[in-house]
Chains A and B, each alone.
Chain A
Amino acid sequence: MLRYVIRRTGAAIMTLIAASIVIFAFIHLIPGDPVYVMLGDGATPDQVAALRARLGLDEPVVLQYLIWAGNALQGDLGHSVFFETPVTQVIADGAETSILLATMTMVWIVGFGIPVGVLAAMRQGRWVDQGLSGLAMLLASVPTFWVGLYLILIFAAGLGWFPSSGYPSIFEEGGLANLRYLVLPSIALAAPNAALILRLTRASMLDVAREDYVRTARAKGISPTRVVVRHILRNALLAVVSAFGFTFAALISEAVVTETVFALPGVGRTVVQSILRRDYPVIQGVILIIVCLYLVINLLVDLSYRMLDPRVELE
């Protein structure tokens, strides 16, 4: 097990290094002088020289990378050209919103996707199953921002149950009640991913139900509920757990759009605005952090999968 952890962590670090090179190379792939692109045509030669020096663009490329990566390791991702504050500060400002949004979304995905997937599998072929499976496929075909706009139209503009946009911190006035700002965005964000988990749970339940050991469990004379919970569900969830890394990646992509729809002050919207503002250090910094997070989560998913399944120790 320890050897596996080391090998797997090593592979993740290699991927991270390669990804960081891609992220670093990005600024050099932009046509034209990035400094002029960032500052606009009205920049004075002094400003250009200052930014050039700050970004270290006068050094050889390899050295530039090493400096950038070295700084990143020490928690320095450079400065935002737009805000003139450290990139880490810009990311930290959006972190609360994004983390809470992701958590709330995961609650919907797990709380809805898995139980409903189990229900569909237990009613296999009946109308409940066909209806739910059809609904899941439909949800997977709906753009998140469209769901978001309709949620705003119905529950914010129409019924007035939830706010339509923005998010004040839970540490400010309103406290935990401010979480209501995240209800509609998290539902919009959860919809396609919950659909995916639903389909996966159902398929995996049906696969496991065909296994010989489920027949053995039935032969013991234990109740059908116990067969489902202890023997089918437990093994089926192994496959579902392994899909959570993928779900997380999908979540980040869609969070970029969702945060824009609901004007949430999160990291995703920061990326979009930084792209429109040509604030390259922020774009690089955010993407680097997200890739890091993605690799860590995939690593954890992989390791927990291995801990849940006693067979893999032998391999």
Chain B
Amino acid sequence: MNTPILSVSDLVVSAGRNLQIVRGTSFDIGPGEILGLVGESGCGKSMTSLAAMGLLPHGIGVTGGKILLNGADITHLAPHQRVKQGCGRIAMVFQEPMTSLNPVLRIGDQIKEAVRVHDRTASPPARARELLDMVRIPDAAHQLDAFPHELSGGMRQRVMIAIALACRPAVLIADEPTTALDVTVQRQVLGLIRELCDSLDMGVLFITHDLGVVAQLADRVAVMYAGGLVETGDVVPLFAAPLHPYTAGLMACLPDPTSDDPLLPTIPGSAPRPDEIKDGCPFAPRCSRVQDRCRRGPVPVAFNDLGQSARCHFPLNHEVPA
């Protein structure tokens, strides 16, 4: 991989003084690369993305680790401070296209607002039209005058992407951008993200709970459980042979049309809430391979030759290091 453009190391996000929601997460994203961050709801993946964007809600903050964008430390900067310090080339697309646009402003004005902040040389109307063209909105000049409620969900999400592209982002964060959309529209939006990633040589952090989407879209995958990364790796080897029992469990939960068994397998139990996590591996209570030492002390990271790594004492398909 080239030098990373977004580098997150040992990120800790806490609510209040000592409730850790994200506990020591690290990952890198290179130009033109899509990293799929996968996990169940409540595992901390959205908080990781909001921390990277500098948009953590009131009362929640980064209490450890570093976030670097092209080498610049943006850990504790809000978006407007990043712009002021010349490190604002990171943008985000949110989950709910229906509520993420201001209902009383025309979409052209909402795009131009972003253009004016990031691009003092460009003519806002011309650039806004160019951005709508980039996200494949037909009849862009006309659509600039539309209000959000006049557009469909898929169109609104394209507008959101256009707003995000206004800063010519080096990194685009997409937090479940297609979850609220119909399947056909979902495919189009995913295709658009892939295309923009390649043509603009932009890094993408793609957050989702949908393994199918990841398999289709991502170059690399990071699996998150209970606030920490349990496994990372390139998409093909990781899907072929997961190392961590949790990743394997997630994949087993995907429906298999060739199977005769009418019931999908499930992982027993449920993910712990942040205040329930104890010492040792957080997945231990639900793990089929659990041993005594999983419940105590830090868990080492196991690697294999394909660049995959997992935080596990007893990884699958892997010789246990002596």
A and B touching (Cβ–Cβ under 8 A)? yes
Whether the Cβ atoms of B80 and A235 lie closer than 8 Å is no
Q: Which residues of B contact A308 (CB under 8 A)?
A: 104
If A212-B96, A215-B55, A310-B147 touch, does A220 touch B117 (CB 8 Å cutoff)?
Answer: yes
The verdict on A309 contacting chain B, using a C-beta distance below 8 Å, is: yes
The verdict on B149 contacting chain A, using a C-beta distance below 8 Å, is: yes
The stretch of A66-74, A177-185, A221-229, A265-273 that contacts the partner chain: A221-229
Whether the Cβ atoms of A218 and B99 lie closer than 8 Å is no
How long is the Cα–Cα vector from A220 to B103 in the complex, in angstroms? 16
How long is the Cα–Cα vector from A253 to B92 in the complex, in angstroms? 51
How long is the Cα–Cα vector from A255 to B158 in the complex, in angstroms? 54
Mask for A39-53, Cβ within 8 A of B = 1, else 0?
A: 000000000000000
Whether the Cβ atoms of A219 and B99 lie closer than 8 Å is no
If A213-B103, A234-B104 touch, does A219 touch B91 (CB 8 Å cutoff)?
Answer: yes
The verdict on B6 contacting chain A, using a C-beta distance below 8 Å, is: no
How long is the Cα–Cα vector from A221 to B83 in the complex, in angstroms? 6
Whether the Cβ atoms of A220 and B104 lie closer than 8 Å is no
Minimal beta-carbon separation of B207 from chain A (angstroms): 15
The verdict on A311 contacting chain B, using a C-beta distance below 8 Å, is: yes
Minimal beta-carbon separation of A210 from chain B (angstroms): 9
Contact of B80 among A216, A221, A238 (CB under 8 A): A221
Mask for B83-117, Cβ within 8 A of A = 1, else 0?
A: 10000100110101001111111000000011001
Q: Which residues of B contact A310 (CB under 8 A)?
A: 103-104, 147, 149
Contact of A220 among B79, B105, B147 (CB under 8 A): B79
Whether the Cβ atoms of A219 and B92 lie closer than 8 Å is yes
Contact of A216 among B78, B83, B94, B104 (CB under 8 A): B94
Whether the Cβ atoms of A311 and B55 lie closer than 8 Å is no
Contact of B102 among A217, A221, A223 (CB under 8 A): A217
How long is the Cα–Cα vector from A91 to B53 in the complex, in angstroms? 63
Whether the Cβ atoms of A219 and B53 lie closer than 8 Å is yes
The verdict on A278 contacting chain B, using a C-beta distance below 8 Å, is: no
Whether the Cβ atoms of B101 and A221 lie closer than 8 Å is no
Whether the Cβ atoms of A212 and B100 lie closer than 8 Å is yes
Classify chain B's interface size: 20 to 34
Whether the Cβ atoms of A222 and B163 lie closer than 8 Å is no
Whether the Cβ atoms of A221 and B55 lie closer than 8 Å is no
Contact of B55 among A211, A219, A309 (CB under 8 A): A219
If A221-B80, A221-B83, A311-B147 touch, does A216 touch B101 (CB 8 Å cutoff)?
Answer: yes
Minimal beta-carbon separation of B104 from chain A (angstroms): 6
The verdict on B160 contacting chain A, using a C-beta distance below 8 Å, is: yes
Minimal beta-carbon separation of A55 from chain B (angstroms): 53
Minimal beta-carbon separation of B168 from chain A (angstroms): 12
| Prevailing SS type, chain A contact patch | helix
Whether the Cβ atoms of A235 and B103 lie closer than 8 Å is yes
Whether the Cβ atoms of A218 and B78 lie closer than 8 Å is yes
A222 (CB) vs chain B CBs: closest residue = B117
The verdict on B127 contacting chain A, using a C-beta distance below 8 Å, is: no
Whether the Cβ atoms of B113 and A212 lie closer than 8 Å is no
The verdict on B167 contacting chain A, using a C-beta distance below 8 Å, is: yes
Minimal beta-carbon separation of A124 from chain B (angstroms): 9
How long is the Cα–Cα vector from A220 to B104 in the complex, in angstroms? 17
A214 (CB) vs chain B CBs: closest residue = B102
How long is the Cα–Cα vector from A220 to B160 in the complex, in angstroms? 11
Minimal beta-carbon separation of A260 from chain B (angstroms): 43
If A212-B94, A310-B149, A314-B149 touch, does A218 touch B103 (CB 8 Å cutoff)?
Answer: no
How long is the Cα–Cα vector from A97 to B160 in the complex, in angstroms? 53
Minimal beta-carbon separation of A15 from chain B (angstroms): 29
Q: Which residues of A contact B82 (CB under 8 A)?
A: 221
The verdict on B47 contacting chain A, using a C-beta distance below 8 Å, is: no
How long is the Cα–Cα vector from A220 to B109 in the complex, in angstroms? 13
Minimal beta-carbon separation of A213 from chain B (angstroms): 4
The verdict on B194 contacting chain A, using a C-beta distance below 8 Å, is: no
Whether the Cβ atoms of B103 and A309 lie closer than 8 Å is yes
Q: Which residues of B contact A213 (CB under 8 A)?
A: 99-103
Contact of B100 among A215, A223, A311 (CB under 8 A): A215
How long is the Cα–Cα vector from A309 to B149 in the complex, in angstroms? 11
Interface residues of A in 193-246 (CB under 8 A from B): 211-213, 215-224, 230-231, 234-235, 238
Whether the Cβ atoms of B100 and A216 lie closer than 8 Å is yes
How long is the Cα–Cα vector from A309 to B78 in the complex, in angstroms? 30
The verdict on B166 contacting chain A, using a C-beta distance below 8 Å, is: yes
How long is the Cα–Cα vector from A310 to B80 in the complex, in angstroms? 29
Whether the Cβ atoms of B149 and A221 lie closer than 8 Å is no
How long is the Cα–Cα vector from A82 to B78 in the complex, in angstroms? 71
If A215-B55, A310-B149, A311-B147 touch, does A221 touch B100 (CB 8 Å cutoff)?
Answer: no
* Top 9 A-B residue pairs of the complex, sorted by shortest distance between their CB atoms: A221-B83, A221-B79, A212-B99, A220-B114, A213-B102, A310-B147, A212-B100, A216-B100, A311-B149
Q: Can you give 28 contacting A-B residue pairs, CB < 8 Å?
A: A211-B99, A212-B94, A215-B55, A216-B101, A216-B102, A216-B160, A216-B163, A217-B113, A218-B78, A219-B53, A219-B79, A219-B92, A220-B113, A220-B163, A220-B166, A221-B79, A221-B80, A221-B114, A221-B118, A221-B167, A222-B117, A224-B80, A235-B103, A308-B104, A310-B147, A311-B103, A311-B149, A314-B149
With A213-B101, A216-B94 known, 11 other A-B pairs at CB within 8 A are: A212-B100, A213-B99, A218-B78, A219-B79, A221-B80, A222-B114, A235-B102, A238-B104, A310-B149, A311-B147, A311-B149
